[in-house]
Amino acid sequence: MRKLLGLLLAGTVFAAVPQAMAQEKLTLWFNKGFYPAEDEALNKVIAGFEKKTGVKIELSLFGVEDIITKSVSAVEAKTPPDGAFGWTYDFRTAGKWAYEGKLEDVSDIITPVKDKFLDGVLNSANLEGPGGTRSYYAIPIYQQTMHAHYWADMLAEAGYKEADIPTDWHGFWGFWCDKVQPALRKKGMRVYGIGQPSSVEASDTFFSFLSFVNAYDASPVDKNGKLLINDPKVKAGMVNALKDYTGTLIKGCTPPGSLAWKDVDNNVAFQNKTTVMTHNATISIVAKYIDDMNKAKTEEEKAVAKKNYYELAKTISWPKKPDGKPLPNLVSTKIAVVFADAPNKKRAKEFFAYLLQPENLTPYTEGSLGRWFPVMKESAERPFWTTEDPHRKIVYQQFVKQPTVPFQFVYNYKFTTVNAENVWGRAISRVVQDKLTPEQAVDEMFARIKQLVEG
């Protein structure tokens, strides 16, 4: 009898083991951070969530292109992760996914904290669902806009100082092209006044070019999603934007290779000092020197990086619009999503609600060394942004003190396809390489936009 009881107890123990091991799991896909601090902050959030809920998170980190490719394939196969965060979801996929019913409505996450977001942030989360009804189908994580950087020592070598930089539209671009570049070349320096992304391959191209379009109030779609390509004022503004943008290339004021640049190449050209000024959609160009300081193996290396960051590389806002009014900053909000076909949507929502808490989201954002700006008011007012850091204080001004506008895909999700095809970069190439007039290139561009949006 005693032996039989022992066998029964043993059977009970062994039967309990598989049940205890069946821990609940949550599958998440994220972009891999630019800097170690980003991934470290994310890992801390994950550890905190696991401890709080007992849920085991299976995290996969991907590069920018890989997460798009894998996400699209998984969504089409109806085998997506529970939740994901991709830096280019807003540009390329989220609007289409929402409209097709591939995303879970996350209003229960957003609505309770709606008032905590900075103005404009929720535009990119309020997407058209099936049937065209708008709701919150995405979770804002952080945001980016366009900045301008220049080398103070190169500017001084050309005989100028920061106070000499014009703030009017044409004066600003002409300054680098017609004054700074010739002055440096007279001294034997084979450099270019502007590093201007202009390829079909680079997302930097459409971010930069659409900032020119923004300056001319030439958006081809209105806030209701209606195309404006038949509006003469819109066409005239687009033609002027294209003239200005291609003029830099035609005059030889940006490296000829910029017609084939990838997203990183304007960074490289600036950091190699082959360009004096460049525009970029984050401050990653200068944040590199903070990263260099952190990684420096010698005091000399650290001193060089420190000087580059605090003294030589400068960040400034863009000039005023051609009509003299302030230029609203074109903002992209980086979003996370919960997939409709995911097996554990409930926990995915819980995780992103947890991530949105300031004690979690703030270190994740700041881990990017200023590359991304906060989406929450509380985080934006931290000393990280409001103290006298020479670069972040400009970023703070752009997001908090200056007007902002969203991309066209916020108003019509089919503009994600327009951006993916980069009709903007193709128009630039048609003018510079194929010798079309800006008017001809705009007509061709508008015809293609009409096909993509209405076809």
Rounded mean pLDDT of the chain?
94
CA 66 to centroid of chain Cα atoms = 16
CATH of 147-281+422-454, one of 3.20.20.450, 3.40.50.720, 3.40.190.10, 3.40.50.1010: 3.40.190.10
Cβ atoms of 163 and 346 closer than 8 Å: no
Residue boundaries of the structural domains of the chain: 23-145+332-406, 147-281+422-454
- Domain 23-145+332-406 matches domain 147-281+422-454 at the CATH topology level: yes
Torsion angle defined by CA atoms of residues 254, 259, 262 and 267, in that order, rounded to the nearest 10 degrees: 0
Question: pTM of the predicted model, to two decimals?
Answer: 0.91
Structural tokens at position 447: 């015809």
Please answer whether residues 5 and 35 qualify as being in contact, where contact means their C-beta atoms are separated by less than 8 angstroms: no
User: How crowded is residue 116: how many other Cβ atoms within 10 Å of its Cβ?
Assistant: 14
Per-residue pLDDT at 13: 39
Give every strand in the sheet of 147-151, ordered side by side: 192-195, 275-280, 147-151, 313-316
The Cα 455–Cα 448 span in angstroms is 9
3 pLDDT exceeds 60?
no
Confidence of residue 455 (pLDDT cuts 50, 70, 90): confident
CB 243 within 8 Å of CB 305: no
Tens digits of residue pLDDT in 144-175: 999 999 999 999 999 999 999 999 999 999 99
CB atoms within 10 A of CB 293: 18
Read off the tokens for 414. 């089919």
The predicted pLDDT at position 14 comes to 37
CA angle 84, 133, 420 (to 5 degrees): 50
Residue 257 token pair: 């290779």
CA 282 – CA 243 distance, rounded (Å): 25
Of 348, 332, 402, which is closest to residue 124 (Cα–Cα)? 332
How far does CA 289 lie from the centroid of its chain? 20
pLDDT at 7 over 50: no
User: Is residue 150 within 8 Å of residue 314, measured between CB atoms?
Assistant: yes
Q: How far apart are CA 285 and CA 150, in angstroms?
A: 10
Q: For 43-68, what is each residue's pLDDT tens digit?
A: 999 999 999 999 999 999 999 889 99
pLDDT band at 21 (very low <50, low <70, confident <90, very high): low
Nearest to 391 by CA among 290, 259, 262, 250: 290
pLDDT of residue 23: 85
Q: If you average pLDDT over residues 399-411, what whole number do you get?
A: 94
**Contact by Cβ (8 Å): 146, 283:** no
296-318: pLDDT as tens digits: 999 999 999 999 999 999 999 99
* pLDDT tops 90 at residue 12: no
Cβ count within 10 A of residue 50: 15
Q: What's the CATH number of domain 23-145+332-406, 3.40.50.720, 3.40.710.10, 3.40.50.2000, 3.40.190.10?
A: 3.40.190.10
Determine which of 18-32, 85-99, 223-237, 429-443 has the lowest per-residue pLDDT on average: 18-32
Torsion of CA 412, 218, 329, 269, to 10 degrees: 100
Q: Quick one: tokens of 129?
A: 């669902």
Please report which confidence band the pLDDT of residue 11 belongs to, taking 50, 70 and 90 as the band edges: very low
- pLDDT on residue 208: 97
Cα–Cα–Cα angle for 335, 341, 342, rounded to 5 degrees: 70
What distance in Å separates the CA atoms of residue 340 and residue 106, rounded to the nearest whole number? 11
**Res. 211: pLDDT tops 70:** yes
- For residues 149 and 65, give the distance between their C-alpha atoms in angstroms, rounded to a whole number: 26
Question: What pLDDT does residue 49 have?
Answer: 98
pLDDT band at residue 1 under the 50/70/90 scheme: very low
Q: Read off the pLDDT of each residue in 6-27 and give the average, rounded to a whole number.
A: 55
Handedness of CA 376, 377, 383, 387 (dihedral sign): positive
Alpha helices by DSSP H, 180-264: 181-186, 203-215, 232-250
